Amino acid sequence: MQSCEISSDSTDDPLSSALHGHRQPRIVVIGAGLAGLAATKTLLENGFTNVTVLEASDRIGGRVQSIQHGKTTLELGATWIHGANGNPVYHLAEDNGLLEHTTEEERSVGRISLYAKNGVAHYQTNNGKRIPKDLVEEFSDLYNEVYELTQEFFQNGKPVGAESQNSVGIFTRDVVRKKIMLDPYDSESIRKLKLSMLQQYLKVESCESSSPNMDEVSLSEFGEWTEIPGAHHVIPTGFIKVVEILAQDIPSCVLHLSKPVRRVHWNCSSQDAEEFGDQVDHNQDQRPSPSPVCVECEDGERLLADHVILTASLGVLKKAHKTLFSPGLPQDKAQAIQKLGISTTDKIFLEFAEPFWSPECNSIQFVWEDEAQLESQAYPEELWYRKICSFDVLYPPERYGHMLSGWICGEEALRMERCDDETVAEICTELLRQFTGNQNIPKPRRILRSSWGSNPYIRGSYSFTRVGSSGRDVEKLAEPLPYIKNTKAPPLQVLFAGEATHRKYYSTTHGALLSGQREANRLMELYQYSCAETTKPNI
């Protein structure tokens, strides 16, 4: 591994006194997404100079992936800055002028619409009919009323009834259905439409939660996720600009792309270190010291470290944690990984030469009338397209052209990923023709889509608290190894960051960024504590 010198103009950098003659700690950061870059930036800014970043893919950003499309940028991954007040991602973007050209339409305060602007969502049935706007608003009010109830179980400590099976989906479906059936003024056909809209709303909710369906989302924990106040913002030049800002002061020799990790050996004994070929520092007046961690890369290279910050996604941990760590993870941490949820939410961008939708239309929502009584939103493989919940209009057209963005989640998203572009474009065109009743809609001239589920270095979009899991599992996932109770072992050998490790802000970019800073701060505190023990106070 090529090494480089990271210079510091300051003679009193925080670590020179903290280490008091000892060598710089060797830190390996695994993953160059928001969490890994935030951790690295924080460490370098605070005097740590022996830092190496290993990124499995050939690019930085992780689940941020901005694609240049003509003169505009499309987001295959993270799209919104969720909230402004105190959001570190918002402040990074604002301070660096990334939001100067954000339009009013790109500042969304809506919750149930994946995109929102000053327009109207067209709820279309599979029979080609548009549901009247007043009926949609009436149902939306009802749904949001029940959504507020789902928040109260965690926030107000309400007991969860056995009939709900602690599931957001089961609870919501049951309460909304009862309210619909008890309305004495609705005809049978109106009730059926409302019940069908319920299924569509739950599909949208599943995309927002990145869960296979809302039946898997824990009702007792649903209200713990914390929303930062303020509007959601889109970055016109691409979310990748936030990534580039985090990375701009990280020397290129620190960052190694296309460097997947096979195994993290931790709690290494002196004998282990000898076997790994421990390359110790031989600086003057420094005694060789063993390394408690060895990072083994897929290409056979081994890096010795005092600390590793692992930012792998929950999806990767679910797939690989049994082989990724040696020794294996403690049972309670492995159980936390197993219990927490992650699924795939994919986007399908369709570009048209001309719009076939009316100027006031901001989205086309697919309502299947034959799903009014559906109990499970899991479809046979050949019907994967039924999980596409909507196509949103990208605004402004001056920037995006005539572009729609479709949404699909769960196992059905994985099935979509296995299809070729031509098949997906044909199916989406047929759906749009069927639901709008317009048989003259042409095939899109271009299709672009994400594939987060089948990406071997990601394996999902973002995490959620699954039925049977809780915020305590998030905290257990975030707990460094070895646990504090094991006082004989060197501390903080393996630290964990990433959106799935933030209890309040899981599933968000700001949660990822804050988690990286959190783990860097643990190391800063460790070496400041060392300083307090080994240096005399100034009196």
H-run or E-run covering 11: none
- The mean pLDDT of the chain is 90
Residues 478-505 have pLDDT tens digits of: 999 999 876 688 999 999 999 999 999 9
Mean pLDDT along residues 290-305: 95
H or E segment to which residue 334 belongs: helix 331-339
CA pair distance 227, 86, nearest whole angstrom: 11
Of 17-31, 370-384, 461-475, 519-533, which has the strongest mean pLDDT?
461-475
Q: What is the pLDDT of residues 458-470, one digit of tens each?
A: 999 999 999 999 9
What's the pLDDT at 486? 61
Query: What pLDDT score was predicted for residue 282?
Result: 36
How far apart, in whole angstroms, are the C-alpha atoms of residue 378 and residue 409? 11
Could you state, in order of their start, the residue ranges of all structural domains in the chain? 27-63+237-341+459-534
When mean pLDDT is compared across 130-139, 150-159, 225-234, 342-351, the lowest value belongs to 225-234
* pLDDT score recorded for residue 89: 97
Question: Using one digit for the tens of pLDDT, what is the confidence trace for 417-435?
Answer: 999 999 999 999 999 999 9
Query: Per CATH, which fold does 27-63+237-341+459-534 belong to?
Result: FAD/NAD(P)-binding domain (3.50.50)
Residues 6+ away with beta carbon under 8 Å from 259:
54, 55, 56, 297, 298, 299
- pTM exceeds 0.75 for this model: yes
Query: H-type helices in 403-483, by residue range?
Result: 411-418, 421-436, 471-478
pLDDT at 518 over 90: yes
For residues 539 and 530, what is the distance between their CA atoms, to the nearest angstrom?
19
Burial track 179-214 (b if 16+ CB lie within 10 A, e otherwise):
ebeeeeebeeebebbbbbbbbbbbbbbbbbbbbbbb
168/225 Cα distance (integer angstroms): 14
Report the pLDDT value the prediction gives residue 280, as an integer from 0 to 100. Answer: 37
pLDDT reading at 275 higher than 70:
no
> What does the pLDDT read at residue 105?
65
Rg (CA), the chain: 25
